A = this chain, B = another copy of it.
């Protein structure tokens, strides 16, 4: 099954969840695939196809119970639990992410922070103390970490990624502008803010004012 699930389906599931949770805050009730599709800027057929990959939800003609579907999508995305996260790289971006409430709210808890800068090691960040990346393996194992956020320079990213994988981590959120090579069964999500700006630059340079973006 999971082999058939595309990045774009996962992206839409995250979006559906946001829409459903907003509906929950407004009282819940039921929602049709048509209304969910409209809010997600897609088609009802796409909504039904995405959800059908994970079982059958809702009743034909009756739509979906908002609260039930939200819970089911949280389960599908693995968000009905907390994740223990390590932040590697205590620079500006790292400290901004450490304070980023949306991570914690979604169940991603930064339980340890590491850096190789002696002036940062030992700093107290809220509940946690910045650890030395020289001790990365022990620190990650002791903290029982499952996900690592890398906010290290591009030149250090591959080596850090290998150390993180060596410590048993299978999920990496990579902010370094570097293409990480990891073994099968280790998952990397890249946040490349420069590439996003480059896509904007392409749009502003090449798109005619009325042209949408093809998303093959």
Contact = CB atoms under 8 A, between A and B. Distances in A.
Given A18-B177, A41-B179, A196-B191, A185 B206 contact: no
Interface string A74-87: 00111100010000
Interface residues of A, number: 72
Interface stretch (A23-31, A63-71, A95-103, A131-139): A95-103
B177 A207 contact: no
A83 B13 CA distance: 34
A204 B96 contact: no
A135 to B, nearest CB: 24
A207 B108 CA distance: 19
B96 A194 contact: no
A115 B79 CA distance: 33
B78 A201 contact: yes
B10 A199 contact: yes
Interface string A1-40: 1111111111101110110000000000000000000000
In the A-B complex, the 8 residue pairs with the smallest Cβ-Cβ separation, listed nearest first, are A78-B205, A185-B209, A187-B203, A6-B216, A78-B201, A92-B96, A96-B96, A189-B196
29 contacts: A2-B206, A6-B216, A7-B199, A7-B214, A10-B198, A13-B198, A15-B179, A17-B198, A18-B177, A78-B204, A78-B206, A83-B201, A83-B204, A92-B95, A97-B193, A103-B197, A106-B194, A108-B194, A108-B201, A146-B204, A147-B204, A171-B200, A173-B193, A187-B203, A187-B204, A189-B197, A189-B199, A191-B191, A191-B193
